[in-house]
Structure formats: structure tokens, C-alpha cells
Chain A
Amino acid sequence: MSKSHPRLLHHFDDPEQQLEASQSGMWLFLVTEIMFFGGMFIGYTVYREAYFEVFAHASNHLSVWLGGINTAVLICSSLSMAMAVHSAHQGQRRKIVFYLLLTMVLGTAFLGIKFTEYYHKYGENLIPGLDFAFKEGNAGQAAIFYSFYFGMTGLHALHMIIGLGLLSFLAVQAARGRFSPLYSTPVEMTGLYWHFVDIVWIFLFPLLYLVGRH
């Protein structure tokens, strides 16, 4: 690649250096995200250890089916995201747009199912602070389980929403032909982010849904 690369910022020597900087920056950002979610995971672990019985009962109120379908939806969205990155490397403009939109559809489906689940929990009085009622064990400990459930899946959903925002921005940029084999960094970086959010769910699903089923 030449020095006259159109996207080369003034403070980099060449496009390789620029790309490597973006990549390592994004990976470091994901490290901070792991630490961010990690605080919740460690809290969850502490209480799951302390109140295992109640956590298992509380977990049985979650729908493994809806959670399982959502897991599949999310894995498919990761595939289509990977295809979008691949298409960007190839410079196939229409395909990039297609795969980005497909990823968005799948992401939205995930959120739709997630909010259906939230609504069910509202009907079952399982939202802490809102007439929380739990009969099969210590209600306080069950409230802690559901606090983590809403806290962790809520934080995850927030990341999904941010991801959808990024994807719609990318889709517009891709339709305008901004990406080429020479420059596809934003697609690649958003891809890393999307896969990360996916992996977080891969950990959340068994931890929250399958407590009593192992």
C-alpha cells in the first residue's frame, strides 16, 4: 500500500501502522469490557455459592426455550457479522449492506424475545422492587437472583442496542461505498465488538438459565 492512501491520518506513517493501532485499541477496549462485566459476574458467583438452593429455584422460572432460541439467534447474527467483515475485505458493497442488515434483523429479534421475557417476569411478579413475590424459598435471596438477572441481561441488552446503532451507521456508510479492500477498519472493529457481546451472552445463558439443570 502506498503512502498516498486516502484514509491515512497525518500522524501515522503507513496504513499498516494505522490498522494495527486500531486493532490493538479495540482489543484493549474489549479487555476493559471484560472487567466491566466481570464485576457483575463475580458478584453473581458469590451469591450463587451462598444461596445455591434459592438460585436454582428462581432460575427455573426463566424460560430455557426462549433463552435457547435467543442463543441460536445471536450465534447466527455473529455469523452474518463475520460475513459482513469478509465482504468488506472483498470490497463487495451490496453484500456488506446485506449482511449488516441481516445482523441488525437478528439483533433486533434477540431484543424482541428478551423484552417478551421481561414482560413475562413482570406478569409473574418477579421484578425486584415491583411487588416482588416468590413462594418457593427465601424471597430476599430470590430477589438478589433476579436483580442479577435484570442487571446482567439489561447491561447486555444495552450493549446490543449500542451495537445496533453502530451497525446502522455502518450500513449507511457501506451503501455510500465508503469501504473497500484498502479500508474496512470500522466494519472489522464493530465486528469484534459484536462478537464480544455475543460471547458475553454465551456465558450469561448457562449461568442464569441452567442453574438447576446441570
Chain B
Amino acid sequence: MSEAAMERRLHYLNVSYGVKSWLFTTDHKRIAWLYLLSITFFFFIGGLAATLLRLELLTPQGDLVQAETYNKLFTMHGVMMVFFFLIPSIPAVLGNFLIPMMIGARDLAFPRLNLLSWYLYMSGGLLTIGAAVAGGVDTGWTFYTPYSSIYSNSHVVLTVCGIFINGFSSILTGLNFIVTVHKMRAPGMTWFRLPLFVWSHYATSIIFILGTPVVAIALALVALERIFRLGIFDPALGGDPILFQHLFWFYSHPAVYIMILPGMGVVSEVIACFSRKRIFGYSFVAFASLGIAVLGFLVWGHHMFVSGQSIYAGMIFSLLSMLVAIPSAIKVFNWTATLYKGSISLDAPMLYALGFIGLFTIGGLTGIFLATLAIDIHVHDTYFIVAHFHYIMVGGAVMAYLGGIHFWWPKMTGRLYPEGWARLAAVTIFLGFNLTFFPQFVLGYLGMPRRYHAYPPEFQVLNVMSTAGASILALGYLLPLIYLIWSLRYGRVAGMNPWRATGLEWQTPSPPPTDNFEKTPIVTREPYDYARAEPQSEYAPGEVEHV
């Protein structure tokens, strides 16, 4: 398609102009953009806090910030990254944009609710930033009682309110996705023709709607205890602070799977496309998503091995935690099997996906160390934990998020990003990430505890490595910010399907029209039919086909 022809065609971006047409839009694709911009904003706020943390840790003495400030900084980093970046990242941006398109629908089931979710998200985010500006919170992102409910003198209530409101954004997004997948599928789009991206978001949504309300009530109880002096967790009355940990982790452990499952969905799409192969063991990968979601609800106690939970509970939680490795491993093996004898091309999304597999595997395997009671007691609350969950959350979720953004960028904008720069950024991020976090495994194993602003001098070399890695990582994150904005104007025009991918979202122009498809597609084949998709001209929607 020539550039001039593209200018004339009406699509979701040029159908109306002006701030109001964006702030009051109910188009899922535009709401995805609202999320993309706000999530990027919160990511850089959380990143700023991380930068200060790493600078402080450059030297063993606490010389850059005071201990109290350091506590506020790591709380800020955790709260921003977990609640306002990682949890909404892939679902609210890519899920919002793609789920209706992948199932052949014109929008999510509840478009106005979708917009409300964004407003809730923004209110919660701004409230939390307001709390930080007013003086910050020093409890850590976990808000453990009784410190948070009685002793802390920082802005706990305001921050907790922000997270509470944001929780409803997650709940409504999950609800919207589930109803959409059940009720809005195009004719012929059976459950086993759903792309794995949709399956993983379905599993994520289950966690959203079952887990989020529980953390909401737990945080509400902390706020009530601070405001009205109710005594739910107060040990002075006979209350049990560990009850809070139970309620908190009942959500916050599944929340880890909220962060990783959508990433697994992205990786399934990307691996299949850039290996030009049907995904190996489709139904295993699909059910592994549900398996992870279900098992995820049964493992929260592994956060409390040393909190005073009974040893028998600890043993059972240990065993259950190891079971999560099974569906996770099924996914990793099936992706690897998909690569086998595929015609692999190493475009930027594929680099991110391969990075995801490697880093997620390291993060997952160290998770098994931590699920083992005896080892956990040794490394509990050390940098080993910090490294472990950053391998999952940054090495896994953020890599997948960036891979997904690159993969679907042509669909969202109609433009291609500059491939060379994108590959450079992917490699930079991979190297920077490993240099930042691998030394932390060693630090933790040697006994450096997390959440202190000063440390014994013998840990300095590894800490300097980590800080050096963090600066490379920061550079890696700035690169896409620059070239993706650049590509909006100067990128090559992408066309309908630049990757020759098979998903329904690629069978409509880029950027798509407001209603996504000119007419409702009729689905006649499995999602990863790459054998048929070559060459592209043979693949026309609506063709009858038997597998």
C-alpha cells in the first residue's frame, strides 16, 4: 500500500482528533494507548527510584541517602513497578489492544467499563505518587503489619488507598476479558482455535478477579486499623500480624503469575511466528496457563517459611510450590520444541522471546531452591530473593512486554520500528540485566540482606558490578523510548502483515479500522497454521479447511 493511500484510509487513529476524543474514547485500541503512555510514565518513576537505590549501593557506607530515605525509595520502587507497571503492563496494553482482534470481535464486552478501568488506574497511580510527594512510605511494598498498621509514621493510608483503587481497575479488566472471551468470539473461533495469548490472558483474568479483592480487603483493614484504631492485626490485643501476611500473599503470590502469564502468551505468539512453525503441544501450553493460575493460589505460604507458620504448613506449601514448576516447564519445553527444525529468524521480538526463555528458566529454577525449606532459611530476605524475582519480573515479564510491543508495534501504529536499533536494544537489555542481577544471586548466597542502605565492604565488588549493569540496563530501556517515538513519523509503512503471521489481528489493515474488521471474520483453522501461511497469498480468511 502506498503512503498516500494509507493517509486517506480511515482507521482508529485518524477517525477523530483532539484530547476529548482520547479521554472519552471507548475504543479498546485507544484505551490501550492511554495505558501504554501512563504505564511508561510510572515505569520511569519506578526506574528513577531504582537508579537512586543502585547509586547508594555503589559504596558500602550509607552516604548518598539516609536509611529512612532508602526505605522510602525501595518502597516506591516496589509499589510503582509491581502495582502500576508490571501487573497492568501486558494485559492492559497488549491484551486490551489484541484480545478483541484475536477473537474477531469489534470491542471488549464492556467498552465503558474498560475506560473506567483506566481512570481508576490513573486515580490510584496519582494518589500513590501524591503520597510519595507528601513524604513517602517506608513499609516496603508488602505493608507488613503491625509496622504498617501501628508504628510507621509515613503515608501508609494514602498509598494503600491508591493501591486499593488501582485494584478495582485490575478486577474490572479481568472481568471484561473473561466475558469477552466467552461471549464475543467470531463464528468458528472455538476454544481450541484461540491464540495462546488469549488463553494466557484468560488465566490471568481468573487471578485478577479471585485474588485482587482479597488484597484489597487486606489493605483496607490496614487502613481501618490506622484510621479508626480497629484491632484486626494488633498483637497487643491478641491479634495476629501473620494473618495479614496470609491475606496479602494470597493475592500477591498469584500476582506474580499475573505478571508472567501474559508474557508467556506473548512468547508463544512470537516463537511460533519467527520459527514459522505451529506451536508444539498447543493444548498443553494452553492448559499449563490454567494450571499455573490454579496452583498459584495454593502456594502463598512459601513467603512465610520463617514468619512463624507451622512447620507442617511449611512442608505442604513447599511441596505445592514445587508443583508450579511442572506447568512452567511444560511451557519452556514446548517453546524449545517449537524452535526445533523451525526456520528461525532473529528479529527483535524473537530476541526478546529467546531472552525470556533463558531468564525465566533461571528465575524459575532458583524459585525451586527457594521453595526448599532448608535453603530458604539460609537465603531468606537476602539478595538471592531479590535476584530471583527480578529474573522473573524483569527478565521474564519486562522482556516479554518489550518483545510484544515490538511485535505488534506495526499493527498499533502502521509503522515498522528500526530493526537494527531494536536488536541493539534487545541485546543491551539482556546483557545489562544479567550484569545487574546475576551478582545479586552471589551476594545473597554470601549473606547480604535486602533492604539495607549500607553493607560490609567485602560485598562492594559485586555491588559495583550490579550498579554498572543497571546503568547499561537503563540505557537499554531508553533506546526503545527514543526509536519507537521516532518510528511514529519516520518508520517504514508496515502494511497489513509484516511478519506474515497467522493471527486474525494480522488479517486486517494496520492500523485497524475502529471496528477492527471490515466484516466479521469467519474462522476455519487453527491459530498457528504456519505451514499453510507460506506463501502469504495462499492464506485468505474464509477458506474452508480440514486439519
- Listed in ascending order, the chain A residues whose CB lies under 8 Å from chain B are 9-11, 13, 17, 20-21, 24-25, 28-29, 31-33, 35-40, 42-43, 46-47, 50-51, 128-130, 138, 140-141, 143-144, 147-148, 150-151
Contacts and interface: CB of A to CB of B under 8 A. Distances in A.
Contacts of A29: 175
B175 A11 contact: no
A47 to B, nearest CB: 8
Interface string B208-219: 011111101110
A78 B178 CA distance: 29
A29 B109 CA distance: 14
Interface string B179-195: 10011100000000000
B31 to A, nearest CB: 13
Interface residues of B, number: 42
B214 A39 contact: yes
Given A35-B210, A36-B213, A43-B247, A144 B239 contact: yes
A36 B231 contact: no
B344 interface: no
Contact of B109 (A21, A39, A150): A21
Interface in B80-139: 105-111, 113
| 6 interchain residue pairs of minimum CB distance | A129-B229, A140-B237, A39-B217, A36-B213, A147-B230, A11-B107
A144 B109 contact: no
A25 B232 contact: no
Given A21-B179, A140-B237, A141-B237, A32 B231 contact: no
B350 interface: no
A120 to B, nearest CB: 18
Given A28-B175, A32-B210, A39-B214, 10 more contacts: A10-B515, A11-B108, A17-B183, A25-B175, A35-B214, A38-B213, A38-B214, A39-B247, A140-B237, A147-B230
Given A32-B213, A150-B230, A25 B110 contact: yes
Nearest to B520: A13
Determine which residue in A32, A46, A50, A148 has the highest number of CB atoms from chain B within 10 A of its CB, and name it: A32
A31 B210 contact: yes
Contacts of B221: 39-40, 43, 151
B217 A143 contact: no
A140 B175 contact: no
B230 A151 contact: yes
Given A46-B243, A128-B231, A28 B213 contact: no
B171 interface: yes
B238 A51 contact: yes
Given A21-B184, A129-B230, A32 B212 contact: yes
Contact of B217 (A20, A21, A40): A40
B540 interface: no
B179 to A, nearest CB: 5
A46 B237 contact: no
A36 B240 contact: no
A38 B215 CA distance: 11
A47 B232 CA distance: 9
A124 B239 CA distance: 23
17 contacts: A13-B520, A17-B183, A21-B184, A25-B110, A28-B175, A29-B175, A32-B210, A32-B213, A39-B217, A39-B218, A43-B243, A128-B230, A140-B237, A141-B237, A143-B231, A147-B231, A147-B232
Contacts of B17: none
Contact of A144 (B182, B224, B232, B515): B232
Contacts of A140: 231, 236-239
A24 B105 CA distance: 17
A33 B210 CA distance: 9
B312 interface: no
Which among A9, A21, A28, A46 has the greatest number of chain B C-beta atoms within 10 A?
Answer: A28
